[in-house]
Structure 1
Amino acid sequence: MTEVVAWVIATIVTIPLLGWYFIYIVSVKISKNKSKSIQRASDWTTVLFMIAVYFIIIELWAKSLLWVILAVFFFVALIFTFIHWRFSGDIHVGKLFKGIWRFNFLLFFTIYIFLCGFGLLLRILS
């Protein structure tokens, strides 16, 4: 039973990169536009990276820090909204949401890469 749980968690943790690549390839084949395909793949896999970060944290420290992940997401949204309002004077919801979503992709992708490296190092040294 523990092997099945470990396999499921390992699969979910590796899905973001595979999912990003799959969406990128399909999008390039359909649209023939590489930069739009990168954006589309990033937009579609943000949630996968957030889930992967959640499961990696559980695997490394045996704690659920879902509240921290959600707090970071909403804090980024709050900061982006304030900056957007400050510079443009008016809030364009579509533009704002796209900026929040893409920044969260970069943030959670970076955290994902860092946690994978940290987890690998931790397992090697212990």
Structure 2
Amino acid sequence: MLNIVLFVIAFVITLPILATIVMYYILKYLYRNPIKAFHKAINWSTFLYILAVHTLLSYLFSVNYLGYIFVLLLSILTVLIILQWKKYSEINYYKAFKLLWRLSFLLFFTLYIGLVLFGIVKSILV
């Protein structure tokens, strides 16, 4: 039983695009609203993309990049909070975290696609 659970977790981490699509269709059925289902699926799968990018970076370059990813996310959050403070002179942390999460999806989705293509090219050439 434990092996099945570990297999499912490993599958979801290594193929977050498929997990996002499955989540979207399940949420679309539950909410009956495709836009809300899309937003929820993206929000819930962002963490999977972060883990997948970390896994791919560790596999391709044999170095642990989790600390660098954490520092990158904190740096982006810091910039967002400073920009919010400069623009509105009041900080809304919920809005900053929400924007960080959406930017993280865009960043890590792009990195995931790039690293998968890099891994394919690297395995063909080596």
TM-score range, shorter chain: 0.7 to 0.9
State how far apart, in whole Å, the 1-side matches of 2:85 and 2:97 are: 13
CA distance, structure 2, for counterparts of residue 97 and residue 110 of structure 1: 20
Q: Is the 8 A contact 1:9 1:55 kept in 2?
A: no
Q: Secondary structure at the match of 1:63?
A: coil
Q: How many residues align?
A: 119
In 2, are the aligned partners of 1:49 and 1:112 still within 8 Å (CA)?
yes
2:17 — aligned with what? Answer: 17
In 2, Cα distance between equivalents of 1:9 and 1:43? 18
Q: TM-score, normalised by structure 1?
A: 0.86
The Cα offsets for residues 24-66 of structure 1, whole Å up to 9 and x where unpaired, read as 1111112222222221111101111111011101111111111
TM-score scaled to structure 2, two decimals?
A: 0.86
Structure 2 unaligned blocks of 5 or more? 1-6
Deviates more, 1:100-109 or 1:90-99: 90-99
Please say if 1:29 is aligned against 2:33: no
Q: What is the distance in 2 between the residues matched to 1:8 and 1:57?
A: 21
Task: Compute the displacement of 1:67 (Å).
Answer: 1.1
RMSD of aligned Cα (Å): 1.8
Aligned position for 2:88:
88
Counting aligned pairs with the same residue, the percent is 32
Correspondence list, 1:46-65, <5 A: 46-65=46-65
Match of 2:4 in 1: none
Q: CA deviation at 1:71?
A: 1.0
Amino acid of the residue matched to residue 59 of structure 2? E
Structure 2: distance between partners of 1:9 and 1:83: 37
Deviating beyond 3 angstroms after TM superposition, the runs of 4 or more aligned structure 1 residues are: 7-10
Look up the equivalent residue of 1:51 and give its one-letter code.
L
Change (3 A) 1:8 1:35: closer
What is the alpha-carbon distance in structure 2 between the residues aligned to residue 57 and residue 8 of structure 1? 21
1:78 corresponds to 2:74: no
Match of 2:3 in 1: none
